[in-house]
Amino acid sequence: MLRLVSLKLGRLYRYVKLAVVGVLAAALALNSPSLLASLQRNELAERRFLALNKCPACWGTSWCRKFLNGQLRLESWGRLRLLDFLNVKNVYFARYGEPREGSRRVVLKRLGSARELADIDAKICRRATGRGRCDLLQALHATEFASINGDVRLLTPEVVEGWSDLVHCPSQRLLDRLVRRYAETKDSGSFLLRNLKDSERMQLLITLAFNPEPLVLQSFPSDEGWPFAKYLGACGRMVAVNYVGEELWSYFSAPWEKRVDLAWQLMEIAEQLTNNDFEFALYLLDVSFDNFAVGPRDGKVIIVDAENVLVADKRLIKQNKPENWDVWYESKFDDCDKEACLSFSKEILCTRVTVDHNYYAICQNLLSRHATWRGTSGGLLHDPPAEIAKDGRLEALLDECANPKKRYGRFQAAKELREYLGRLSNNVR
């Protein structure tokens, strides 16, 4: 009965949202003579809508020609500014077309809510003038972003440490990778910061400090097998990434076989981000159903929100040998009353070589009975077939992975869970 109630609540959430959109659209159609004009207008070709006036306190300009030439157009509902209050995250869907080629769907992100973007300006002003409002472009030249000028050869850890999750504990190797793979410059490929133009360098630093998601996508690209959405480009405070597919949430009630395959992929992602040949551990600090999407054709699970990713350089940890560096770290289970809770210590993530955080995050927030989201509970693997429920092995592995009872139990449970799900979905490779 509880399961039925929770599923109904999830559906009710969607229906209410659709109803609100419908009512607002009807009201707009009845009361606004400019409805047709607003639908025909292409705001993506307007400098003000893109916040180009904020540059170089912006995310980049590599795609500005495409935007300003009208090669991108918002999909129908995205053109109605009256509905922006529903779009809290400032994420838009658009069609992008090249000459002589068909159009394709892309995702556009402002990388923050209206309030968060206003806070960026206020923080820059306070750093420069001590006041919350100022001439932004003038203020930039009085901040630490401007002090890292063309005379600075390298971006170094002591300068940017703690600016964001990505560089909470940066190594020189990581920073060189960020600069070398920076996509908002025509001369990418060099790890030397001084090879960037002043505006490019400023944009890189602003992005690193306020929302490093584009840098994660650029530095760990999907083309090389990393499980992130493909970065396309930016214009002002609008970033374009490849459209992956529907959110993982939309598969909550999918057939059992499909959910098993998705769960197996999620555990594989946890493993890849934790243990890889590059010896970078990428820890997901924000794990929820809407941070992942599934490709409609290949069924591949991809991370579509990478703002809160902490990168620890295992090679540097092994070299420096901080206290307890080789002691396995077990994340503490967090049985809170909110959605998508996680308990972690950034300091420990930065100083241990063997950490179970990613397994814990995926199991607790997505797969196990402890996962809750939009009025539902039970996780992605809810309501297994009778024979699997009777066997009890899946439930035991999920429980041990989310809330281990044995010392280092999560490490072993995660390994066995990956293998078990692989067998169930015939994905053993």
Q: How confident is the model at residue 4 (pLDDT cuts 50, 70, 90)?
A: very low
**Contacting residues for 109 by C-beta, under 8 A, at least 6 apart:** 89, 90, 91, 92, 213, 238, 239, 241
Distance CA 145, CA 211 (A): 15
Concatenated DSSP letters of 170-230: --HHHHHHHHHT-SSSTTTT---GGGS-HHHHHHHHHHHHH--HHHHHHHS-GGGT-SBPP
Alpha helices in 275-356 (DSSP H): 314-320, 346-349
Regarding predicted confidence, which is higher, 161 or 79?
Answer: 161
CA 117 to chain CA centroid, Å, is 17
Task: Give the pair of three-digit tokens for residue 334.
Answer: 């967090």
Q: What is the reported pLDDT for 18?
A: 59
Task: Give the pair of three-digit tokens for residue 146.
Answer: 């401007």
DSSP type of residue 92:
E
Regarding predicted confidence, which is higher, 12 or 225?
Answer: 225
Distance CA 68, CA 51 (A): 12
For residue range 256-313, what is the model confidence (pLDDT) as tens digits? 999 999 999 999 999 999 999 999 999 999 999 999 999 999 999 999 999 999 999 9
Distance CA 426, CA 150 (A): 54
Q: How confident is the model at residue 33 (pLDDT cuts 50, 70, 90)?
A: low
Half-sphere exposure for 10 (CA within 13 Å, toward CB): 20
Element counts in the chain: helices (H) and strands (E):
18, 12
> Which conformational region is residue 332 in: left (phi greater than 0), alpha (psi within -120 to 50 degrees), or beta?
beta
Task: Give the pair of three-digit tokens for residue 338.
Answer: 């909110």
Is pLDDT at 38 greater than 60 in this prediction? no
For residue range 387-415, what is the model confidence (pLDDT) as tens digits? 999 999 999 999 999 999 999 999 999 99
Half-sphere exposure for 145 (CA within 13 Å, toward CB): 29
For residue range 207-250, what is the model confidence (pLDDT) as tens digits? 999 999 999 999 999 999 999 999 999 999 999 999 999 999 99
**Contacting residues for 253 by C-beta, under 8 A, at least 6 apart:** 7
Nearest to 52 by CA among 207, 203, 305, 237: 237
For residue range 69-116, what is the model confidence (pLDDT) as tens digits? 999 999 866 555 445 545 568 899 999 987 677 889 999 999 999 999
Task: Name residue 405's amino acid.
Answer: K
Most confident of 3-7, 193-197, 389-393: 389-393
Task: Name residue 273's amino acid.
Answer: L
For residue range 122-152, what is the model confidence (pLDDT) as tens digits? 999 998 888 989 999 899 988 888 888 767 8
Residue range 374-381: mean pLDDT, rounded: 87
Q: What is the reported pLDDT for 40?
A: 63
Q: What is the reported pLDDT for 81?
A: 46
Is pLDDT at 30 greater than 60 in this prediction? no
Task: Give the pair of three-digit tokens for residue 391.
Answer: 């066997």
Please report, rounded to a whole number, the percentage of residues in the chain having pLDDT higher than 70.
Answer: 86
Please report, rounded to a whole number, the percentage of residues in the chain having pLDDT higher than 90.
Answer: 71
Regarding predicted confidence, which is higher, 194 or 19?
Answer: 194
Is pLDDT at 65 greater than 70 in this prediction? yes
* pTM for this predicted structure: 0.88
Q: What is the reported pLDDT for 187?
A: 76
Task: Give the pair of three-digit tokens for residue 86.
Answer: 């529903």
Concatenated DSSP letters of 250-269: GGTTS-HHHHHHHHHHHHHH
Half-sphere exposure for 39 (CA within 13 Å, toward CB): 9
DSSP type of residue 236:
B
Sign of the torsion formed by the C-alpha atoms of 240, 98, 80 and 93: negative
Burial 273-306 (b: 16+ CB within 10 A, else e): bbeeeebbbbbbbebbbbbbbbeeeeebbbbbbb
Residues 394 and 420: beta-carbon distance below 8 Å: yes
Range in 7-16, 105-114, 321-330, 403-412 the model is least confident about: 7-16
Residues 367 and 398: beta-carbon distance below 8 Å: yes
User: Exposed, middle or buried, 376 (CB in 10 Å: 0-12/13-18/19+)?
Assistant: buried
